[in-house]
Structure 1
Amino acid sequence: MEKQWIPETGDWTRAGVTKTGQGVNFTLELPEAETAGLLLFQKGEEEPEAVIPMGEKVMGDLCSIFLKGFRPERYEYAYRIGEEVFVDPRAERILGRKDFGEWDPETGVPALRGGFAFEAYNWENDRHPKIPYEEGILYHLHVRGFTKNQNSRVRHKGTFVGLAEKIPYLKELGVNQLLLMPVYDFDERILPEKEKNIPYQKEGQEPKLNYWGYGKARYFAPKSTYSVKDPVKEFKDLVKKFHAEGIEVLMEIFFPEGTEERLIFDCLEHWVRDYHVDGFYLMGDDSMNRFLARDPMFVGTKLLSTWFDTDNIYERKKTPAFRNLAEHNDGFLVDARRFLKGDEDQLPAFTWRVRKNPAKCAVINYVTHHDGFTLMDLVSYEERHNEANGEGGQDGPAYNFSWNCGVEGPSRKKKIQELRLQQMKNAFLLLLFSQGTPMILAGDEFGNSQRGNNNPYCQDNETSWLEWNGLKKQAELFEFVKAAIAFRKTHPLLHQAKELQGTSGSVLGYPDVSCHGQQAWYGNFETTSRHFGMMYCGEEGEYLYVAYNLHWKEQSFALPKLPEGLSWQLVFDTEDGASPEKEIKWIDQKSFEAPPRSILVLEGRK
């Protein structure tokens, strides 16, 4: 068959595979080899139609060829060095996968090839929502696990399309930002490496499933097993649909230590430019964080990491015009969990967490994360139950700062169920009424459980798939969470753009934030104290008082006197279920008793 293309020396400045008006350019990095071949396959064929030498390195370790007249829509491709055939690490489509986690004892994992993604896409004037961190309600999910359960009530379960079908649900909940676990192409099986001892990997054992997606990856291609037909189009459709509803889409990206710097930069640029992604949680190798944070390309893109050296990034006192950086770590999780379970000496740490909101770098707060207990499991288990992972139950965090409310695991006792519900409500108010950006783990709003497994990295089953029947079983919790999110959104005192200082913040001279206890204006921060009140005052005369009592006994709170014409009204009570959706309650204006393990929220109203 006569070929219609003419190989020429390529443009090494064009990384990966790029298209021009006359053909396609292929550039490959060869750090440990001198030569390589480009394999071109007709779609669906096992043998290559052509093997084209990549030629000599033209710059450093880069070799590049240009195929004039090449029609990519008819082909798939791979590279070969010696006898090894491998897929392009910069391929923008990955072909060859059928079912998620596919494995054949005889043939192993499927052979993969690269595909081309040059099709035009109509973005229809799509725009980034540009939601400031202080206005964000972040929702953390796994695309497959979010809708894979048979009760998810979507047509295309476990896919980008299925996630988009849940937009009405997410809008009802009040979410306006998504953080997606890896949605690029990753290895779905953890294959043992030669000469390495993997204790939990027995000889001949089926390789572990990599359900979460961290580790070795091809970062430029959306996950084909998360698609119905075309992952490139479907992920773009997903982003466009969420943007149309005012919801941002952020991605987790895990770069192993030693990942090449240019690849990291090009990867992020690719997802922002070609997929309109709003931000990234940068995991693993953080050596590039400072440079990414300072690069003009990403000043409007949200960047999350465990920490940022803001003093060096912003040069002393300079504050960015748009706060795009955010600290994402377990600091709030640990302090909130310890306070929630009633540990002593937690007030100094938690009162700081409530206020923390630096001008240069936002804070992502969360009580639960995919890497640990769900919220229901946090109040139901004290021990991890990871036996199904095949590591003798020794994997995952050994201590989770959890309390099972008196019984390990599920319980039919009404008092245990009521206490667990109350503790979950408490956890949500700890989260939603703190100044940082709250991040909710998908399913926590209706009590989703992983049956005590706090490390389900290899569980592609009901353990990790959200059980949507929880919406009926935990309807009270779901309605409470919706009300709390709505209350936060309509009360700027709870989500300020800058950190509260404890100085005059209202027209009548009240401090913007203050602590209280059995006496107004005096918080008790002794080691044994497990309760305090926090009052917020706004510039326009708004007043909120949050009474935290995580003690197992009733505690007294004194109320600061409000300006004339205003009185305190109870709007939330985690013990009796009070919320703004129900009747507002009047209380004594001088003091009140908070029930054991409860949080009460009061508002100054006329």
Structure 2
Amino acid sequence: MIVKPGKPYPLGATWDGKGVNFALFSENAAQVELCLFDNSGQNEQRIVLREETDFIWHVYLEGVLPGQYYGYRVYGPHEPEKGHRFNPHKLLIDPYAKLLSRPFRWDKSLFGYRIGDPEEDLSFDEQDSAAFVPFSVVADTSFSWGEDRRPSIPWHKTIIYEAHVKGLTQLMPDIPEELRGTYLALASEPVINHLLRLGVTTLELLPVHQHVDESHLVEKKLTNYWGYNTLCYFAPDLRFAVQNTKLDPLAQFKTMVRSLHAAGIEVILDVVYNHTAEGNHLGPTLCFRGIDNSSYYRLVPDNPRYYMDFSGCGNSLNMRNPRVIQLIMDSLRYWVCEMHVDGFRFDLAAALARELYEVDKLSTFFEVIRQDPVLSQVKMIAEPWDIGAGGYQVGNFPVGWAEWNGKYRDAVRKFWKGDLGMLPEFATRISGSSDLYEQSGRKPYASVNFVCCHDGFTLMDLVSYNQKHNEANLEDNRDGQNDNYSWNCGVEGPTEDPSILQLRLRQRKNFLSTLFLSIGVPMLLSGDEMGHSQKGNNNCYCQDNELSWISWKLTPQEEKFLQFVCELIKIRKTEPVFQRRKFFHGRAIRGSEVRDIRWLDINGEPLTDESWNAGYIKSFGVYLAGDMIEDVDEQGNPVEGNSMLIFFNGSENPVSLTLPKRREDKPWTIVFDTAKDETAPEEYPGGSAYPLKERSLVLFRGFREKENKQENLSSS
């Protein structure tokens, strides 16, 4: 091994075929040591980094190969009251490490202060942590991608499937047992066949960056199953990697992406850049805290011993520091360019826009992404809130971003729950939420619509429980959201009552029908298509067991429900009117009486202002004109399709609908009725009556003849 000065860029450990360049940012360090270990984790060799350029410490070691274990020890002031927590007794993970040697193991030596000392974090601990902290590993990133091509699904044609790597695959019987719960399981034929059968276009994965199980969970023999406690923004989580195989975790992840791309499916990662696993001032010293605490973390200005916390997890990354912005941008580009992912969903994204205290949509973070030639071309989804003051920012993210639309979720839940006064809000949400996105120049696909996600009730539990039941989390049922807008249909939890079971099934159909017939980007929670229940637990973040894992043993009824969901998605993908790129006008267009959307009462007549303002209206219809989409396809041809008619009955009583008349007296063809097990494609003339049961939805199709250029309702 020959020691050379090396270069300050790129940061991290970079192998060039002859040796490895190591580079680490620390503005306030007095000295940095690179520590090399053999594969047993022993025989530590320390090399002082004597080169420092613009606060980046660097060295080049000729002869070092991929697979080398390493870490850092960083010297500097231990003055927590001033924001500095240097402690060279703690081995530190490289923030740019692309691979770790082993999972985390908790031990008192991981803390920079003496546990139990009256001075708490002001004390100084001299125990060496090298035996417990994972080693960073020099990675060989080479991989044969072949002809891998990104599916590049347009936003308006995107259908997202949110899943957990292990939860989706752990109980899948057709996957070899040794592969279950891993990246390679997601690359397997059974999983891909299921996704293709559903018809989803995009797989959104819960966090796959290396995470840490919080110590209080480990003490309770629980784990952070969801993984929203990440530390290494470049390293794939080892828990999803197959052991004892020639493919390292990097290659396994890439194999997964390549296989999904080959099937035409995009991969989006849920990423957590708002905080790290080092927690608050009493947390462990694993990485950033020991490298340069005051640079990497947002500290309380008047008392820098403590951390600003916009996530509820103890700390917040310092988005005011250019090197922190660079860390996040380098991580994002790495996952796009090297790992070939297609986009990101940002956990608690509002926290990333807090340069001062308020959320600023013109913050540096968003501006840097907007001008980046790589990241500006992939899908960016914000969870548009955090726990700080003013943190609920639905509708306030800039152009180029889509958002989880929490207002859509709540409105749809309340409507089908039977709440009064929901008609205006419900209609706004299912038609694209123009009130949130149009004024800022965004399109309907800025709204990621969902009824359920990983955080909260599953669809089955949404219709089976009025209250959360989180006792398994061992927090006395205090955790998790209290306001779920759920309804148990008459009995809390499991029941054998056939009438309640039938009602729950209908409600599930209503929810998903609403989701896939709404304008915007639909997101389906994995397992909801198969009746997955978490027994009323709406916060399964720590349940790495069958409470969270999806069962593939479907009853005949659940198999029929799965087929219903597949047909729903097929309808969405084949009917252009549900894939709008532009908002509805809702008024006469081009000097005619043709309208692109019309809201109807149960008599088939336009809803009056009185009806809109009446808080008791729970039954209504919406007509979507297939020849007024006002868009062109990729070849420049006008986008036209069938007209669609949806009637919603959220009331407790059946209603008799009068179908509106169509031009030339053409009939309506029923597509499905959620109150029926099966629906034959019968024709109904305009003006005829249709009986719609309580709490149900019916969809009609108005087939359009190609020569007819103006398909619309005859009444104006």
Q: TM-score, normalised by structure 1?
A: 0.89
| Pair 1:110–1:511, CA change in 2 (3 A) | farther
- Is 1:167 the counterpart of 2:192? The answer is yes
Residue aligning to 2:381: 304
Determine helix, strand or coil for the equivalent of 2:352: coil
**Which of 210, 215, 222 is equivalent to 2:236?**
222
Give the Cα separation in 2 of the matches to 1:347 and 1:70: 66
Shift, 1:22, TM fit? 3.6
Give the Cα separation in 2 of the matches to 1:13 and 1:549: 62
Map residues 146-295 of structure 1 onto 2, 5 A cutoff: 146-149=168-171, 151=173, 153-155=175-177, 156-165=179-188, 166-187=191-212, 189-191=213-215, 205-206=219-220, 208-229=222-243, 230-255=248-273, 256=275, 257-259=316-318, 260-284=324-348, 285-287=351-353, 288-295=365-372
- Is 1:80 the counterpart of 2:95? The answer is no
| Pair 1:300–1:69, CA change in 2 (3 A) | same
Question: Does the 8 Å contact 1:505/1:537 carry over to 2?
Answer: no
Question: Does the 8 Å contact 2:209/2:230 carry over to 1?
Answer: no
- Is 1:94 the counterpart of 2:119? The answer is no
Give ranges in structure 2 of 5+ residues lacking alignment: 75-87, 111-128, 276-315, 319-323, 354-364, 385-392, 628-639, 705-716
Give the Cα separation in 2 of the matches to 1:541 and 1:114: 55
Shift, 1:207, TM fit? 7.0
Shift, 1:110, TM fit? 4.8
Give the Cα separation in 1 of the matches to 2:258 and 2:397: 35
- Is 1:533 the counterpart of 2:625? The answer is no
Give the letter aligned to residue 417 of structure 1. Answer: L
- Is 1:463 the counterpart of 2:540? The answer is no
Give the letter aligned to residue 684 of structure 2. Answer: I
Give the Cα separation in 2 of the matches to 1:133 and 1:78: 42
- Is 1:453 the counterpart of 2:512? The answer is no
RMSD (CA atoms): 2.5
| Pair 1:142–1:578, CA change in 2 (3 A) | same
Give the Cα separation in 2 of the matches to 1:534 and 1:228: 50
| Pair 1:570–1:154, CA change in 2 (3 A) | farther
| Pair 1:245–1:401, CA change in 2 (3 A) | same
Residue aligning to 2:416: 340
Please list the CA deviations of residues 135-185 of structure 1 after superposition, one character each: whole Å capped at 9, or x if unmatched. Answer: 111000111111112646454111011122200111011111011000111
Shift, 1:354, TM fit? 1.1
Determine helix, strand or coil for the equivalent of 2:377: coil
| Pair 1:427–1:566, CA change in 2 (3 A) | same
Please list the CA deviations of residues 553-594 of structure 1 after superposition, one character each: whole Å capped at 9, or x if unmatched. Answer: 012333221121621111110001345xxx312335313231
Instruction: Tell me whether 508-517 or 433-442 shows the greater mean CA deviation.
Output: 508-517
Residue aligning to 1:27: 23
Instruction: Tell me whether 442-451 or 559-568 shows the greater mean CA deviation.
Output: 559-568
Residue aligning to 2:357: none
Give the letter aligned to residue 169 of structure 1. Answer: H
**Which of 413, 433, 442 is equivalent to 1:360?**
442
Residue aligning to 1:54: 49
Shift, 1:38, TM fit? 1.1
Determine helix, strand or coil for the equivalent of 1:63: strand
Determine helix, strand or coil for the equivalent of 2:91: strand
* % same residue: 34
Map residues 114-129 of structure 1 onto 2, 5 A cutoff: 114-129=136-151
Question: Does the 8 Å contact 1:186/1:213 carry over to 2?
Answer: yes
| Pair 1:89–1:460, CA change in 2 (3 A) | same
Give the letter aligned to residue 70 of structure 2. Answer: Y
Question: Does the 8 Å contact 1:337/1:367 carry over to 2?
Answer: yes
- Is 1:44 the counterpart of 2:40? The answer is yes
Shift, 1:501, TM fit? 1.5
Give the Cα separation in 1 of the matches to 2:506 and 2:592: 36
Give ranges in structure 1 of 5+ residues lacking alignment: 193-200, 315-323
Please list the CA deviations of residues 382-423 of structure 1 after superposition, one character each: whole Å capped at 9, or x if unmatched. Answer: 110001101101100112000000000011111111000000
Residue aligning to 1:573: 673
Aligned residues: 573
Give the Cα separation in 2 of the matches to 1:472 and 1:294: 52
Instruction: Tell me whether 405-414 or 461-470 shows the greater mean CA deviation.
Output: 461-470
Q: TM-score, normalised by structure 2?
A: 0.76
Give the Cα separation in 2 of the matches to 1:383 and 1:585: 41
**Which of 582, 585, 592 is equivalent to 2:682?**
585
- Is 1:63 the counterpart of 2:57? The answer is yes
Shift, 1:528, TM fit? 0.5
Shift, 1:208, TM fit? 4.9
**Which of 8, 12, 17 is equivalent to 2:13?**
17
Shift, 1:312, TM fit? 9.3
**Which of 568, 575, 587 is equivalent to 1:491?**
575
Give the letter aligned to residue 317 of structure 2. Answer: G
Give the Cα separation in 1 of the matches to 2:396 and 2:533: 41
Give the Cα separation in 2 of the matches to 1:559 and 1:506: 26
Question: Does the 8 Å contact 1:517/1:556 carry over to 2?
Answer: no
Give the Cα separation in 1 of the matches to 2:224 and 2:105: 11
**Structure with greater strand share of residues:** 1
- Is 1:138 the counterpart of 2:160? The answer is yes
Question: Does the 8 Å contact 2:5/2:51 carry over to 1?
Answer: no
| Pair 1:137–1:471, CA change in 2 (3 A) | farther
Question: Does the 8 Å contact 1:191/1:207 carry over to 2?
Answer: no
Please list the CA deviations of residues 74-104 of structure 1 after superposition, one character each: whole Å capped at 9, or x if unmatched. Answer: x21111232111221210011113xxx8779
| Pair 1:508–1:557, CA change in 2 (3 A) | farther
Give the Cα separation in 2 of the matches to 1:225 and 1:293: 33
Question: Does the 8 Å contact 1:536/1:543 carry over to 2?
Answer: yes
